[in-house]
């Protein structure tokens, strides 16, 4: 049996001099892994392994599901007033501990403190939305649909639901899911990314401290073994997934085949179109911020800049001019504006696109390997800019997920639109222009789920829903907001008549309204 962890704090690592251990969270407490399998968690800024995270076996997933199933009857029967009271307390505790959560994000993901605090703030929005669950779960009522007959609809929870989350938002994406799921009366099993699992354990502690009953929220760590058990487990009613497109497709196909409700959000290649009338300085600031923030490891990062007509030369020059000033380094250093990539393997893959882009005829204007930080410890790469990219090149076709901005030059709005609409992904997109008519046409024409007009990262606020189109989302409902409430509930419609013996008679005809 593995040793009990100090969840998420890294204290074990510091006291023993070796990596600490991160275990599961089942039924309101740390559950040491018994499978004998574990994975490394690194500080990407130093390249040093800080923790080993337990990988769950199918049996351990079953324990978490059993705890969630046992907690469900009482939790679904808990009044809305009580549930929202607990959510308000969760909100207060996450707010109080936002720096601590952000610290874990920086230590295990590598993002800067400012960026990590932004992640926590955007996650917190979803908890705030879920605090309004008494209003969100209101049904409909129609009086006297037929003589003496009323009809009403109610929303009920599904039961045990699961969330499988990616490495790039280890706090926010779980909050996208569990806040609405538990508010609606479900119990939850989270399988966070094995690369940066610490934040989920601190969140689990805060949920317990807020008074959430044991078993309502559980965490199992691991890899495909845990995920596959979640997908086939007969008790789990629904699965929310966020991650890369191949895995999202697999989750959707496997989960729905097992009869589950599934929403699976995948990868992205977000285009930012700049029309010739755009303000060059503002567009350059936006492109640089949205391409390199969080080292480009955001599903809503601007990955492809589409420069229309004459705007290309001055725009590329304005971006190029801004790049040497970006300070890349350890995310915990307040001077750093961009941190490292998640692993060395991922950094090497990102770098391969600089080489393939050059080989395939693009011009690498700035190569992140020239930044001295590349030679330092950790998984750092400087910012990179590739110009004269075409749709056939690998650096366009693949999601790079790193600090690499590619520029595609097109002659017209129509060409820009065709490029985006032909792309297999359809997560976010943005247009930069001063022409309201052009912006409105773009919003009408473009095949993407989230559109920004002079806003480069149009992540919807928590009271709308988040989701892409095409290969960026498998399923029918987007995540969080109103779609989240729909996803985590099923409706029941009650048709009701109270006894009126005077008008009662036998009638074998199909019920009609009268």
Residues engaged in binding ligand NAD (CB under 6 A) = 164-169, 191, 193-194, 223-224, 227, 242-244, 247, 265-268, 299, 399, 401, 427, 468, 472
Sheet holding 38-43, edge to edge: 20-22, 48-54, 38-43
Find, among 421, 169, 432, 456, the residue nearest to 292 by Cα: 456
Q: Which is nearer to ligand NAD, 42 or 169 (CB)?
A: 169
* Residue (of 491, 488, 490) closest to 187 by Cα position: 488
Residue 110 C-beta: closest distance to ligand NAD, Å = 13
Query: What is the side-by-side strand order in the sheet with 450-453?
Result: 363-366, 384-387, 404-410, 302-308, 270-274, 428-432, 450-453
Taking the complex as a whole, how short is the minimal distance between the CB of residue 398 and ligand NAD, in angstroms? 10
Instruction: Classify residue 479 by its DSSP letter.
Output: B
**How many whole angstroms separate alpha carbon 102 and alpha carbon 95?**
11
Closer residue to ligand NAD in complex, CB, 21/221: 221
- Residues contacting residue 109 through CB under 8 Å, at least 6 positions apart: 44, 116, 167, 168, 170, 195, 196, 331, 339, 342
The sign one gets for the Cα dihedral 109, 112, 116, 119 is negative
Least CB distance to ligand NAD at residue 34 (A) = 19
Which CB atom, from 319 or from 400, has the smaller least distance to ligand NAD? 400
- 2 close to 38: Cβ distance less than 8 angstroms: yes
Minimum CB distance to ligand NAD smaller for 55 or for 432: 55
Residue closer to ligand NAD (CB basis): 106 or 193: 193
Question: CB of residue 198 vs ligand NAD: minimum separation in angstroms?
Answer: 14
Tell me how far, at minimum, the Cβ of 106 lies from ligand NAD, in Å.
Answer: 17
Q: State both tokens at 119.
A: 């992640």
Please work out, in degrees rounded to the nearest 5, the angle formed at the alpha carbon of residue 356 by the alpha carbons of 350 and 360: 150
Q: Which is nearer to ligand NAD, 107 or 242 (CB)?
A: 242
Bridging pattern class, strands 217-219 and 187-191: parallel
Other CB atoms within 10 A of residue 396 CB: 23
Compute the least distance from the CB of residue 15 to ligand NAD, in Å: 28
For 236-256, letters b (16+ CB in 10 Å) and e give bbbbbbbbbbebbebbbebbb
Rounded to a whole number of angstroms, the minimum distance from the CB of residue 227 to ligand NAD is 4
Residue nearest ligand NAD, CB atom distance: 243
- Non-local CB neighbours of 138 within 8 Å, separated by 6+ positions: none
| 184 included as an active-site residue | no
Tokens (6 digits) for 107? 């230590």
Alpha helix ranges (H) inside 267-407: 280-292, 312-322, 344-359, 394-397
Nearer to ligand NAD, 278 or 299 (CB): 299
Closest CB to ligand NAD among residues 72, 425: 425
- Axis-axis angle for helices 224-232, 58-77 (nearest 10): 50
Catalytic residue among 131, 184, 299, 395: 299
Residues with a catalytic annotation lie at 299
């Amino acid at each position: 049996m593995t040793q009990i962890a100090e969840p998420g704090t890294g204290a074990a690592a510091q006291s023993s001099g070796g990596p600490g251990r991160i275990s599961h969270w089942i039924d309101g407490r740390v559950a040491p892994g018994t499978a004998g399998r574990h994975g490394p968690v690194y500080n990407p800024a130093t390249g040093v392994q800080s923790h080993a995270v337990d990988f769950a076996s199918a049996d351990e997933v079953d324990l978490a599901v059993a705890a969630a199933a046992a907690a469900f009857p009482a939790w679904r029967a808990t009044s809305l007033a009580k549930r929202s009271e607990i959510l308000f307390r969760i909100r207060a505790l996450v707010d109080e501990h936002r720096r601590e959560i952000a610290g874990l994000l920086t230590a295990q993901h590598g993002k800067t403190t400012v960026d990590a605090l932004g992640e926590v703030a955007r996650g917190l929005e979803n908890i705030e939305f879920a605090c309004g669950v008494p209003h969100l779960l209101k049904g409909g009522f129609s009086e006297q649909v037929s003589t003496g007959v009323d009809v009403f609809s109610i929303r009920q929870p599904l039961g045990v639901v699961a969330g499988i989350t990616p490495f790039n938002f280890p706090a926010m994406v779980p909050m996208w899911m569990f806040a609405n799921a538990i508010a609606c009366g479900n119990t939850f099993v989270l399988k966070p990314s094995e690369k940066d699992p610490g934040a989920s354990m601190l969140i689990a502690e805060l949920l317990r401290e807020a008074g959430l009953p044991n078993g309502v929220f559980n965490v199992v760590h691991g890899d495909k073994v845990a995920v596959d058990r979640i997908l086939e487990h007969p008790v789990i009613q629904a699965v929310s997934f966020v991650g890369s497109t191949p895995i999202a497709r697999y989750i959707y196909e496997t989960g729905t085949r097992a009869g589950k409700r599934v929403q699976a959000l995948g990868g992205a290649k977000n285009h930012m179109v700049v029309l010739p009338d755009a303000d060059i300085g503002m567009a350059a600031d936006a492109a640089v911020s949205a391409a390199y923030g969080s080292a480009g490891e955001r599903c809503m990062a601007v990955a492809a800049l589409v420069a229309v007509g004459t705007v290309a030369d001055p725009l590329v020059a304005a971006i190029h001019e801004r790049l040497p000033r970006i300070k890349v380094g350890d995310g915990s250093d307040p001077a750093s504006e961009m941190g490292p990539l998640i692993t060395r393997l991922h950094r090497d893959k990102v770098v391969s696109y600089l080489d393939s882009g050059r080989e395939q005829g693009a011009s690498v204007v700035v190569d992140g390997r020239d930044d001295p930080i590349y030679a330092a410890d950790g998984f750092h790469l400087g910012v990179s800019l590739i110009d004269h990219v075409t749709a056939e090149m690998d650096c366009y076709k693949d999601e790079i997920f790193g600090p690499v901005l590619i520029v595609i030059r097109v002659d017209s709005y129509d060409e820009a639109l065709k490029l985006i609409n032909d792309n297999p992904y359809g997560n976010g997109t943005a247009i930069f222009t001063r022409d309201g008519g052009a912006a409105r046409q773009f919003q009408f024409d473009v095949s993407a789920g989230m559109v920004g007009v002079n806003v480069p990262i149009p992540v919807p606020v928590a009271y709308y829903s988040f989701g892409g189109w095409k290969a960026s989302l498998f399923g029918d409902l987007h995540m969080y907001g109103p779609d989240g409430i729909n996803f985590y509930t099923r409706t029941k419609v009650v048709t009701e008549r109270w006894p009126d013996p005077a008008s009662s008679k036998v009638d074998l005809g199909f019920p009609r309204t009268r």
